[in-house]
């Protein structure tokens, strides 16, 4: 696929689930999971908190080490890419 076609496909799949995603979700829902598996609604807030904490940690590294180390920006880029 060309870059514009890939971008359109990615944008479409972020709004409307693609066939492969539906098959994976269906397969996951059929799995026999342990009783202690958290409910589905927990995952959204958990990931949001994790990404916020990761962003805060990255900001701290960049803010505190920027004047002393030339490696702080590459470390941030490597972490988030």
CB neighbours of residue 51 within 10 Å: 11
Where exactly are the structural domains of the chain? 1-37, 38-81
pLDDT, residue 47, reads 92
Helix, strand, coil fractions of the chain, as percent rounded to 5:
75, 0, 25
Taking residues 6-17, what's their average pLDDT? 60
| pLDDT over threshold 80, residue 70 | no
Please write the tens of the pLDDT for every residue from 28-54.
Answer: 888 898 999 999 899 999 999 998 998
Give the pTM.
0.50
Indicate left, alpha or beta for 28 from its phi (over 0: left) and psi (-120 to 50: alpha). Answer: alpha
């Amino acid at each position: 696929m060309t870059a514009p076609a890939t971008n359109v496909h990615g944008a479409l799949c972020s709004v409307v689930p693609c066939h492969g995603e539906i098959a994976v979700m269906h397969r996951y829902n059929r799995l026999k999971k342990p009783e202690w598996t958290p409910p589905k609604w927990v995952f959204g807030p958990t990931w949001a908190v994790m990404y916020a904490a990761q962003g805060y940690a990255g900001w701290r590294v960049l803010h505190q080490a920027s004047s002393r180390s030339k490696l702080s920006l590459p470390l941030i880029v490597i972490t988030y890419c």
